[in-house]
Chain A
């Protein structure tokens, strides 16, 4: 490890980690990982923008967690009734829950029986770097979403996490375990206020044989929130995972999104949408990791950037020696809505077998195309209206492909719309 700046600053110590675990009354699985994370804090470095490629465009100052305090341990006031399959957490504490659904476990880690969390940490390891160690050392607000074999959960599970405690480190953890041949849709929504906040979310998706999981994260963070998210899906045989990451707010939202296709015949679709304004920095690192034979992956990430915002996309498609007949596609498109906006795009292929069905990638960044504008204007729409239509179409494509049910699609497109309207891009 390198001599990166030591964080684990003042308040985020091994002792503080232990105290948090005691106050929360950790079960076995969480206690073990918390201790491992805490023990690893000093030995692991912070990611280095100078040395670690996925971190290249992150301001090192953004990684300085000095002064941030561990998550609080207060319980939350119970919220009004929520619909079935909904769970609300405020500052890491459960604050509301809808009626339960057959075949589905939706629970705070603290409520789960012994053994239910055996697979915690399987997809996102505690010792990736100092940030993942911090995540586990200060884990607060873990949620288990688990389906029984063959369960088909018709309604989307809605997990909402709100943060309002200024100056804290937030560490949401979502563990999704899909049983054999089950069907599950999860929509996780993150929100925070305008106070400074650092968030280290981890999302683990363990997709059993033949299971189909659709996972959407809505990043609606406040203007002074910085986020370093780890999301990793691991598929078993013939499993399908589809994910969408929608970012409409946050000072810095950096997401690492991985699908490890470990089961033969499994597939992954990853979609990303970001609308940037002000000084916002949206940063995606994606990994399509083809491990097994006959695996398929597709990816489309799109950003529309206004004002001085910037988007970074660094995506890796890996086709391992054993991943014969892999089919992988990776596409990143960026639309610059102002001269000061900026996009960096770097799709990379790493192919170890020569027996692939298809491996392709593409990237673009630029302003709205003048010929497209002329075409649309020639049909009577003003220039502003034409820009608006093009931007909405541009961002609508990954939304369409996410195949979310109609009501949810409308809701998400409403979030995009609100952000675009605030940007003043078209009508």
Chain B
């Protein structure tokens, strides 16, 4: 018998600013699985990420998303986070005046539902910073304020590491990273992944998948998944691009 799914997306439709972007998307992720959703610009990748996390700017118009068996519709983003869902943002927002350490402490307390003792928290933070090869000075800087592209992505991974979600969605985490930074980030994610956790990589390029290996690859075109397969599908896309699949999908 297969394990109960972590995430079930069932015929999901979503609008942003009145335009329908997701047009009936289906996807099921079980514990221990790594999935990749690949798609060209405008196919709905970021809409999917934002909708899963409950961004109020995105409106669900049909279908359902269940996380650990519960429907997410109408649930605030913080409630989703406390249940173990995590989104690594493509464009993390700068929060001047709030240091990384202060922010992480509040987030960790909120998600775990208890005050983690300062000593314990610091030990854990330093350990995770080492894992992600992040300098300790990082903790005292304002969150994402004046960060380079690579620093922002590392800060996202540090949050992932500290919050220990059941299900992590990585939205274009490879963008803006040079190859060394990509390798560090990927090593970190691989080290954090475990058999009870699910991972969804959302990406335009196959590059990231050389370092974080998915068992399942899906192609997103015009707001729905048009093809699913194993890692070989990503390689096919790398060779032939999205045009062939897009053409096949539109005549299907």
Asked if residues B89 and A375 are in contact (CB atoms below 8 Å), the reply is yes
The interface stretch among A77-85, A241-249, A378-386 is: A378-386
Chain A residues within 8 Å of B80, by CB: 378
Asked if residues A380 and B81 are in contact (CB atoms below 8 Å), the reply is yes
CA distance A49 to B127 in the complex (A): 60
A377 contacts partner chain B, Cβ-Cβ < 8 Å = yes
Question: Given A378-B77, A380-B163, A383-B78, is A393 in contact with B107 using a C-beta cutoff of 8 Å?
Answer: no
A57 contacts partner chain B, Cβ-Cβ < 8 Å = no
CA distance A25 to B86 in the complex (A): 72
- In the assembled complex, 17 residue pairs joining A and B whose CB atoms fall closer than 8 Å, in A order, are A370-B57, A372-B93, A375-B93, A375-B95, A377-B78, A377-B81, A378-B77, A378-B86, A379-B78, A379-B159, A380-B81, A380-B82, A383-B78, A385-B106, A386-B78, A390-B95, A393-B142
Of all chain A residues, which has the CB nearest B55?
A374
Given A378-B87, A389-B103, 12 other A-B residues pairs in contact with their CB atoms under 8 A: A370-B56, A377-B77, A377-B78, A380-B111, A380-B163, A381-B106, A381-B110, A382-B78, A389-B106, A390-B98, A393-B97, A393-B98
CA distance A247 to B121 in the complex (A): 35
B residues 87-116 with Cβ under 8 Å of A?
Answer: 87, 89, 92-93, 95-98, 103, 106-107, 110-111
Chain A residues within 8 Å of B86, by CB: 378
A400 contacts partner chain B, Cβ-Cβ < 8 Å = yes
Asked if residues B76 and A377 are in contact (CB atoms below 8 Å), the reply is yes
Asked if residues A378 and B97 are in contact (CB atoms below 8 Å), the reply is no
Asked if residues A381 and B97 are in contact (CB atoms below 8 Å), the reply is no
Contact residues of A: prevailing secondary structure? helix
A350 contacts partner chain B, Cβ-Cβ < 8 Å = no
Asked if residues B163 and A393 are in contact (CB atoms below 8 Å), the reply is no
User: Which listed residue (A370, A385, A393, A400) contacts B110, Cβ 8 A?
Assistant: A385
| Number of chain A residues whose Cβ lies closer than 8 Å to a Cβ of chain B | 25
User: Which listed residue (A378, A381, A385, A397) contacts B53, Cβ 8 A?
Assistant: A378
Asked if residues A375 and B107 are in contact (CB atoms below 8 Å), the reply is no
Give the Cβ gap from B225 to chain A, nearest Cβ, in Å: 24
Question: Given A375-B89, A380-B107, is A397 in contact with B97 using a C-beta cutoff of 8 Å?
Answer: yes
Give the Cβ gap from B93 to chain A, nearest Cβ, in Å: 4
Of all chain B residues, which has the CB nearest A379?
B107
Most central of A374, A385, A393, A394 by chain B CB within 10 Å: A374
- The 4 A-B pairs at the shortest CB distance, nearest first, are namely A393-B97, A380-B110, A393-B98, A379-B107
Of all chain A residues, which has the CB nearest B88?
A378
CA distance A146 to B82 in the complex (A): 56
A residues 353-388 with Cβ under 8 Å of B?
Answer: 369-372, 374-383, 385-386
Chain B residues within 8 Å of A375, by CB: 89, 92-93, 95
A392 contacts partner chain B, Cβ-Cβ < 8 Å = yes
A395 contacts partner chain B, Cβ-Cβ < 8 Å = yes
CA distance A382 to B76 in the complex (A): 8
Give the Cβ gap from B95 to chain A, nearest Cβ, in Å: 6
Asked if residues B103 and A372 are in contact (CB atoms below 8 Å), the reply is no
Asked if residues B78 and A380 are in contact (CB atoms below 8 Å), the reply is yes
Chain A residues within 8 Å of B53, by CB: 374, 378
Question: Given A370-B56, A385-B110, is A394 in contact with B96 using a C-beta cutoff of 8 Å?
Answer: yes
CA distance A377 to B56 in the complex (A): 11
Give the Cβ gap from B135 to chain A, nearest Cβ, in Å: 20
Chain B residues within 8 Å of A381, by CB: 78, 106-107, 110
Chain B residues within 8 Å of A369, by CB: 93
Asked if residues A378 and B92 are in contact (CB atoms below 8 Å), the reply is no
A396 contacts partner chain B, Cβ-Cβ < 8 Å = yes
Most central of B80, B92, B110, B111 by chain A CB within 10 Å: B110
Chain B residues within 8 Å of A372, by CB: 93, 95
CA distance A328 to B86 in the complex (A): 43
Chain A residues within 8 Å of B106, by CB: 381, 385, 389
Give the Cβ gap from A272 to chain B, nearest Cβ, in Å: 15
CA distance A389 to B100 in the complex (A): 12
Chain B residues within 8 Å of A374, by CB: 53, 55-57, 77
Give the Cβ gap from A49 to chain B, nearest Cβ, in Å: 34
Asked if residues A392 and B97 are in contact (CB atoms below 8 Å), the reply is yes
Give the Cβ gap from A388 to chain B, nearest Cβ, in Å: 9
Most central of B89, B95, B111 by chain A CB within 10 Å: B95
Of all chain B residues, which has the CB nearest A394?
B97
